[in-house]
Amino acid sequence: MSSKRVLISGAGIGGLTLAYFLHRNGHQPVIVEKAASLRDGGYMIDFFSSGITVAEKMGIIDELKARNHASNIIIQQNKKGIRQFVLNMSGFRAAVNGKLFNFLRTDLADVLYEKIKDSVELRFSTSIKSIAQSENEVAITFHDDRQENFDLLVGADGIKSNVRSQTYSPGKVEERYLGYYVCALEHSVPVGVDRGEVISMISPKRQIMTYDTGNGCSNSLFVFLSGKQKHLTTREQVELLKKEFTGFASPVPEIIQQASTKEKLFFDEVTQIRIHDKWYKNRVVLIGDAAFCITLLSGQGSSMAMTAAFVLAEQLNRYPDDLTQAFEAYESELRPMIEKMQKKAVKNAATYVPSNNFNLWIRNLLAPLVFKKIFSPLLIKQLGANNYFEKNAS
């Protein structure tokens, strides 16, 4: 096997995972990250399906279990704080053989970083200024005008990918805004939720979910339907939350008030990335949100970023002397599944945050039923959460 020097742009879930598998396969990955450190903040994720299989291959299951919040009970309330019903996740958890973890997205990134920090070069506060491809290498000019050559470049730099924007013409990249915004923050507001429980307060077009993260802290995720916003400062983000969640009972106003004390929030639009071209150009290839963002409403963003990293590394190992064939195999393996998941995410978003009282009534009527153990396989299929590694994945 010919060892390759690989530049990975982005120290997120996909980039860190890819670096591990490339190094394990004898390559020389280098990660660059424009931030000064791993990203902090973020939201609680449901981690299962394909991502679990990749984590098992990496030998990090015990570390992930140690950070698992095991959210089994979802208590739904209306915006006045009146309980409507309780969902028990034990049936869904049994359907995936107990392989369902709940932790902050940053917990996953921390575990991945610990796995590679002593074996992979990671340069923080570093960004790519320009990319020049030739037949045999990729010439990179960094933000400080320093230049280096690599065998290939991987864009793992998220939905606003710098690598993608320098590689594809705008007409080839569709940013499909799904009509929602999300905001997540950790806070110390008492919310009356016990360990392993989630409180969901919901009304048409709006939902806030709160988890106990321990040590007197909670994590809340706001999701709301909204027209496309211009770039918002943190202060403007807080004002938008106040406007959208007017009328919600305590502790929502108190959580938003604490949000106003933050220097920065995790605040983003729910947008899918669909590339109307191949996921690669010569010696540049994309993974994760940079290639195919399926949005956090799919519940599979982190899992599929890790899966893409694994599949790409395996195909590079399979075709060590033919990058084009490796990239083609990587894309043909994953793209059909990803496109199905994107379509399901669009449909499921309307169920996650119903747009009117009637749709909310239907959701509330069906939710306690579909979460019963007998219907869990159907729910997994509806979520588009089939495991890539299972032979019968559809």
Q: What is the pLDDT of residues 48-88, one digit of tens each?
A: 889 999 999 999 999 999 998 888 899 999 999 999 999 88
Asked if residue 211 is part of any domain, the answer here is no
Q: How far apart are CA 212 and CA 71, in angstroms?
A: 9
The candidate with the shortest Cα–Cα distance to 84, out of 226, 202, 216, is 202
* DSSP structure class, residue 295: -
Query: What does the pLDDT average to over 302-308?
Result: 96
pLDDT at 89 > cutoff 90: no
End-to-end CA separation in angstroms for the chain: 33
Q: What is the pLDDT of residues 108-160, one digit of tens each?
A: 999 999 999 999 999 999 999 999 999 999 999 999 999 999 999 999 999 99
Q: Give the pLDDT of residue 394.
A: 44
| DSSP letter for each residue of 325-356 | HHHHHHHHHHHHHHHHHHHHHHHHHHHHS-SS
Query: What does the pLDDT average to over 237-247?
Result: 97
Q: Give the pLDDT of residue 381.
A: 67
pLDDT at 45 > cutoff 70: yes
Which residues are within 8 A (CB) of 337 and not within 5 positions of it... i.e. 6 or more apart?
A: 386, 388, 393
Query: What does the pLDDT average to over 302-321?
Result: 96
Query: What does the pLDDT average to over 248-273?
Result: 95
Asked if residue 144 is part of any domain, the answer here is yes
* DSSP structure class, residue 391: T
| Percent with pLDDT over 70 in the chain | 95
Asked if residue 94 is part of any domain, the answer here is no
Asked if residue 200 is part of any domain, the answer here is no
Q: What is the pLDDT of residues 329-381, one digit of tens each?
A: 999 999 999 999 999 888 888 888 999 999 999 999 988 887 776 776 776 66
* DSSP structure class, residue 261: T
**Is the model more confident about 39 or about 203?**
203
Torsions phi, psi of 60, nearest 5? -115, 15
Cβ neighbour number for residue 37 with a 10 Å cutoff: 10
**Is the model more confident about 195 or about 210?**
210
Instruction: Residue 160: give its domain's CATH number.
Output: 3.50.50.60
**Is the model more confident about 299 or about 288?**
288
- Counting the structural domains of the chain, the total is 1
Asked if residue 170 is part of any domain, the answer here is yes
Q: Give the pLDDT of residue 393.
A: 47
50, HSE (Cβ side, Cα atoms, 13 Å): 28
Amino acid found at 321:
D
Asked if residue 328 is part of any domain, the answer here is yes
Asked if residue 260 is part of any domain, the answer here is no
Asked if residue 158 is part of any domain, the answer here is yes
Q: Which domain holds residue 109?
A: 5-40+53-69+104-174+273-351
Q: What is the pLDDT of residues 160-181, one digit of tens each?
A: 999 999 999 999 999 999 999 9
Q: Give the pLDDT of residue 345.
A: 87
